[in-house]
Structure 1
Amino acid sequence: MITMPPSERDMHAYVDGQLSPIDRQTMEIYLASNPDLAREISDWQLDAQNLRAGVSGALRLPMNPELDPSVIRQRLRGRRHRHLATAAGLVIAIGVGGLGGWQARDVSLASRTLPMADAVQAYRMFATNDTMASDWNTAKPTNVQGWLDKNIAQASRLPNLESVGFKPVSGRLSTTEQGAAAMVVYKDTEGRVLSFYIRPQIDGNRVLQRGSRRDGELQADYWSEGGYNYAMIGPADDPAAKAARLTL
């Protein structure tokens, strides 16, 4: 089982296709909430593809440890770090004005990150997949609120959607760079699915204003409260899902 945050060894195993299906899904949820790391992993994958294409005609030669993808990635990463160190020195030399420019760039990049992208990704991967193992379900002796309170300290109470026909049926824990996260899946008698996702705020000073956004066929309604970000995810155009949103 991989660790969270993932180690460099875990990331190499992901790029090389050596993780188990569950660990791979956990990694993909983590990457969805860490876009900078996701871009770096994507670069690694491209490096690996180019390497395989470049050496495809020499596969019968004796194995050369210097051509191992993980060794090459580590070497490239070391070069990038040296380039970053050089760039950092130049920024210091430029002075406060240059530093302010870099800070503005960071804020601009952060502002382009879609709110609660990991919640939408978790819905697509787990909420509608009845074969996935859950950390809580209706067969457990503890009710869902007790399970959530045990694992996510001081989170808000789960929404009660029984008035619109939805009841909690399963729960799953995951992890983010900021700490534990959880998703509770609701279903109605027609089999329609909603999910309620909780995660720590990425930055204590970056509060999500209550809002919503559409992502393909799904809608995410999100807000912040008490140091956590929350999202209700469900079909954007389904009348039952729309009724559930009105209860939030």
Structure 2
Amino acid sequence: MSRLTPTEAELHAFVDERLEPARRTQVQAWLAANPQQAARVQAWQDDVRRLRAALAGLAAQPAAEPLDLRQLQRGLRQRRQRRWASAAVLVLAVGLGGLGGWQARTVSLTAQNLPMADALQAHRLFASSTALDIQAHDPARLQTWLDQHFARVGQLPDLSGYGLLPVGARLLSNEQGAAALLVFEDGKGQRVSLFLRSPGGHFARMPSGERTEGELAARYWSHGDYNFALVSAADDARGEPLRQALDLSL
């Protein structure tokens, strides 16, 4: 490997803006001459941009957050590695030709544009922690907070019939603007969250549906000016009745 050709660690440092200026210039020249590698690095940079947008409110957190941020950075690097591994599989499939290669391409593209992936990520980051902007155990207070940040959202239904009471909320942001996570908890300490945001580029109007990702299930839909997702444990039987109740109100 020549001095000009960057190592894997240097590519990660390039994305994280930790390379010295002289070396960064060399890496930029190498990427300009290697478009496939440039596309790979661009995908990593897109991940960083989305992560920063989703965590825009973390600057106001207490000083205990750096450890969590390092964990997120490690997770981001693992995601980059998984993306590269998926790309390698795609190249192999295309090399074999025929229908198999096209099917592999379809799966790869679908995986990158899964509906409401940000809702599941927000639930993982904030629903089971104390990282909420407000602690709102009174439904009226939670509704007031929601109305302050989202002018055209409806009335939150009373979820006490499902054993759920408000815990609080967190204001987030993404490329489309403001987003929010509203958290509810039952008497056993199990939490569900309602995520809402403006429509995005891939899903201008969210088709009603659901998907499971690990231990979580997301049920999503569009109503009025916003896209919504209810995130709960995959085995929580209240998921679909809760989605219906929310859809009728918001």
Q: TM-score range by the shorter chain?
A: 0.5 to 0.7
Q: Deviations over 1:12-41 (max 9, x none)?
A: xxxxxxxxxxxxxxxxxxxxxxxxxxxxxx
Look up the match of 1:51: 10
Contact residue 156 and residue 225 of structure 1 kept, 8 A:
no
Question: In the TM superposition, what is the alpha-carbon distance from 1:152 to its structure 2 partner?
Answer: 1.8
Alignment of 1:115-154 (within 5 A): 115-130=115-130, 132=131, 134-138=132-136, 143-154=141-152
1:148 and 1:76 map into 2 onto residues whose CA distance is 48
The change in CA–CA distance for 1:64 and 1:170 in structure 2 (over 3 A counts) is: closer
Question: In the TM superposition, what is the alpha-carbon distance from 1:188 to its structure 2 partner?
Answer: 1.1
Contact residue 204 and residue 227 of structure 1 kept, 8 A:
no
2:27 and 2:218 map into 1 onto residues whose CA distance is 36
The change in CA–CA distance for 1:49 and 1:166 in structure 2 (over 3 A counts) is: same
**Count of aligned residue pairs for this structure pair:** 167
Amino acid in structure 2 at the alignment position of 1:179: G
Question: In the TM superposition, what is the alpha-carbon distance from 1:77 to its structure 2 partner?
Answer: 6.0
Root mean square deviation, CA, Å? 3.7
Q: Which 5+ residue runs of structure 2 have no aligned equivalent?
A: 1-5, 13-18, 40-104
The change in CA–CA distance for 1:113 and 1:159 in structure 2 (over 3 A counts) is: farther
Q: Which 5+ residue runs of structure 1 have no aligned equivalent?
A: 1-46, 54-62, 85-104
Look up the match of 2:169: 171
The change in CA–CA distance for 1:175 and 1:72 in structure 2 (over 3 A counts) is: farther
**TM-score, normalising length: structure 1:** 0.56
Question: In the TM superposition, what is the alpha-carbon distance from 1:49 to its structure 2 partner?
Answer: 3.4
Q: Deviations over 1:166-204 (max 9, x none)?
A: 111110011110110000000111111000000100149
1:64 and 1:240 map into 2 onto residues whose CA distance is 53
Amino acid in structure 2 at the alignment position of 1:175: S
Larger relative helix fraction: 2
Contact residue 220 and residue 233 of structure 1 kept, 8 A:
yes
Percent identity reads: 36
Question: In the TM superposition, what is the alpha-carbon distance from 1:216 to its structure 2 partner?
Answer: 1.2
3-state SS in 2 of match to 1:143: helix
